[in-house]
Chains A and B, each alone.
Chain A
């Protein structure tokens, strides 16, 4: 009995703690279930579709590399939204910060093509983070000092960023010695970086491909390091492994995303800065009573959130695309919001839900090719998962547990009373 109650206690505590994980997981499962029913009605076999989806996301090194590529920007935007939300700053401007971060990385890459990668890559990443900060600074100041609703301002800043981005990639960027599309010698100036980044030799709006010293180190490059080669060079698995083309696409960026999530966890839950940010997020009035400078805390947190949003764009440029084209990342910034919400506004939760979203994106093409189910189904799954996750947060798990406990206690009491009554009658007879 005692042992049993002890186990029950541990189980309850576990359920209670893991509740934040259980809800999103259940939401995702339910989303797959309901989407499956929709596919059935549509006349497709959902099991086949999900198999193709899974194979497209994790089935081969190539698929896995694609999943990683799709996941990385979502990790950063998800973290940006998570951090902002924790402080009561709802950053819906990750999209704009991402675009500006990508442009900043391109600037650095084009401006300083001769620097060595060890300096150039961090510099470009810093530049993208800085642009993100710059882009959120206006909404952040307005919110902190004037109390102006950040949802509106960050959202509107997105459109400015996107339009600026579109302009940048449509106006030729000239370099000395390079002729334009029509063979004319163009004028060149520093301002050119800010009014045009289009590759002049191309008819389509795209920026020039960056030189490979801006490429984020990949698994392939790691394996080809002389000392790694010396160590494993004569082993069969090594020779097989380096031949896999996908390892060239597995770069350091998802690892950096992982590290960033860890750092954010530390910041939020182990430092005074994070403590203040969360206090302000829960109740600014009470935070003020604790001597916390609410405007400054909001400002600091929002700026860090913006830096993360900018990094999302920088990482995509440095790690994956090395140039930008229109819609180079379809709404990865806006998707940071559902990533953060399904992730339970926890850095590690955001990490996991970014993988979920990334895998859906990566696998959807294969699903369409194999089963002719349109890619759009993926967005149905995504939307349902978000709806279920939000609905799940309204369940008061502790109240349910308590109710069950009371019910059991009442049943036990009733049973005991019945037994006593039985005894009484028996003794009377």
Chain B
């Protein structure tokens, strides 16, 4: 057997109070796509940051082509031939592809930049690897999938032999994912090795040769994808069997709770983000909104909850006019909201758990009377909420930021659901949570549905939408491309809609641009 290009031996990295990686053994063979699979917080990113020189491992050895190496900083890693594509691209939008690729490298004609020669050179490299990229295009003009290829090109231009891709599919449509996969397979044929960081099992099975599973910072096993199954991998990943589907009782949808009629709204930049949307959500029903991040879903949720003004159309909640009411008025109409960003908008990190839990009932009796908090009532309320929602904390007086992500989300759930809302708007309710906490949140949402709540679920995770929703609406560039029944929904059809293909009355699909006038 040939020498692996990269070998990690007993690598260990600790942070104060946390062991991020321990006893990590890993070998990457030349020309393979090697998946690094694990839940959020399993230590994948820490390990790769150790490899890329962002962190220094506390112990263990790194071998590059059989020779032991010390990587002090990213520059060392690049010099060895390691390239990394971060989940959030490190590109400068107003610069061209060429300028981005050569950024940070010395020019051959210092202090001048020989743009024409470079354009040509980079165009040739792109062609050699089968990328369809115009080197003179500015980054902001390019679709996300192409931007990602620019990142890969950046690494290739620096003569990378090993590519690390950190959750590369998180921002892509299903079609773009397929394109990426073919690019990756092509690259390995040309002798490159790839580390593919992900927590999505299907992707591992689809594109990777071998997979190493990390759990709680340790390597559980390395196996060939041909010898394993998603079920087995999931078990290794979480340490127990996971049921991929949520147990959801059959319910007949009741009265209409939320009704949107031709609603439009602008995003923070003043551009149209929500465009003429009409839909209904009924009692005992979960309407899932699928779509690639940034297609107006968050703005839609904010319009419904009164946080963003609607520029047109009508919002009705339980038959009552609710367009452009204040967030407080809408809250009092029985609407609860799980914001997409727990850290910044969901919770007040510097408030105590108690103060966060009363975040929706602070102004009402018995929590406060005539504007003064009632200590006993507050304590009773908090104790009950902590018990009912199983918040694991040494005490309610601790700050919210001392809790783990899952427990933080439980505090949000307790705050939002304890009033038994008529409508729950849940935006990315499980973002960044591990499998256990995700299951808990989903169970609670299904329970709220059984109690008669109407739920508007917004998620960029197709799997979450598919397993929870009674009906699925797909959003693309602020418009609803179509609404499908949740049961037996065709993932390819949803994928097509996410990429902007419209559903017509006859059931066939037409590309938005090709629609007859």
Contact = CB atoms under 8 A, between A and B. Distances in A.
B340 to A, nearest CB: 11
A278 B331 CA distance: 21
Nearest to B368: A272
A270 B331 contact: no
Interface string A283-318: 101111111110000000000000000000000000
B345 A285 contact: yes
Given A270-B373, A271-B372, A272-B371, A289 B307 contact: yes
B16 A289 contact: no
Given A402-B16, A403-B16, A275 B362 contact: yes
Interface in B339-360: 339, 344-351, 355, 359-360
Interface in B352-400: 355, 359-360, 362-363, 368, 371-373
A276 B362 CA distance: 9
Instruction: Name the prevailing secondary structure of the A interface residues.
Output: helix
B16 A290 contact: no
A291 B328 contact: yes
Contacts of A402: 16-17
Given A402-B16, A402-B17, A406-B16, A289 B373 contact: no
With a 10 A CB-CB cut-off, give which of A271, A273, A289 has the most chain B CB atoms. A289
B221 to A, nearest CB: 28
Contacts of A403: 16-17
B337 interface: yes
Contacts of B334: none
A286 B346 contact: yes
A285 B337 CA distance: 14
Nearest to B358: A275
A289 B346 contact: yes
A275 B337 contact: no
A100 interface: no
Contacts of A290: 359-360, 362
A345 to B, nearest CB: 12
B326 interface: yes
B371 A291 contact: no
B345 A289 contact: yes
Interface in A380-429: 399, 402-403, 406
Given A289-B327, A291-B328, A275 B373 contact: yes
Contacts of B345: 283, 285-286, 289
Interface string B290-334: 000000000000000101000000000000000000111001000
Contact of B328 (A275, A282, A286, A293): A293
Contact of A285 (B344, B355, B372): B344
30 contacts: A270-B372, A271-B368, A271-B371, A272-B362, A272-B363, A272-B368, A272-B371, A275-B373, A278-B351, A279-B351, A282-B348, A282-B351, A283-B344, A283-B345, A283-B350, A286-B345, A286-B346, A287-B348, A288-B327, A289-B305, A289-B307, A289-B327, A289-B339, A289-B345, A291-B326, A291-B328, A399-B17, A402-B17, A403-B17, A406-B17
Interface of B: 16-17, 305, 307, 326-328, 331, 337, 339, 344-351, 355, 359-360, 362-363, 368, 371-373
Interface of A: 270-273, 275-276, 278-279, 282-283, 285-293, 399, 402-403, 406
